[in-house]
Amino acid sequence: MTRRPKAIAPLVEAFAADLETRNLSPHTLAAYRRDLAQFQRFLRDLARDEEPTLDHLTPRAVRRFVASLAASRFARRSVRRKLAAIKSFARYLTSEGLVATNPTAGLPGPKLEKRLPVFLSTRETERLFDAAPGDTAAAVRDRAVLELFYSTGIRLSELTGLRVGDFDFASRTVRVMGKGRRERVVPFGRAAGDAVKRHIAASGPASRRNAVFTGRKGDRLSGRTVQRIVARELAKVSEARHLSPHVLRHTFATHMLNAGADLRAVQELLGHASLSSTQIYTHVTTERLKEVYRRSHPRA
Rounded CA Rg of the chain: 23
Compute the distance between CA of residue 213 and CA of residue 54 in angstroms, rounded to an integer: 46
Catalytic annotation, residues: 155, 179, 246, 249, 272, 281
| CB-based contact 148:192 (threshold 8 Å) | yes
Q: What is the DSSP pairing of strand 167-168 with strand 173-177?
A: antiparallel
Compute the distance between CA of residue 104 and CA of residue 97 in angstroms, rounded to an integer: 15
Compute the distance between CA of residue 204 and CA of residue 134 in angstroms, rounded to an integer: 18
- One-letter identity of residue 195: A
Q: How far is CA 13 from CA 8, 37, 164, in A?
A: 9, 10, 37
Compute the distance between CA of residue 257 and CA of residue 281 in angstroms, rounded to an integer: 8
Compute the distance between CA of residue 62 and CA of residue 56 in angstroms, rounded to an integer: 10
| CB-based contact 90:99 (threshold 8 Å) | yes
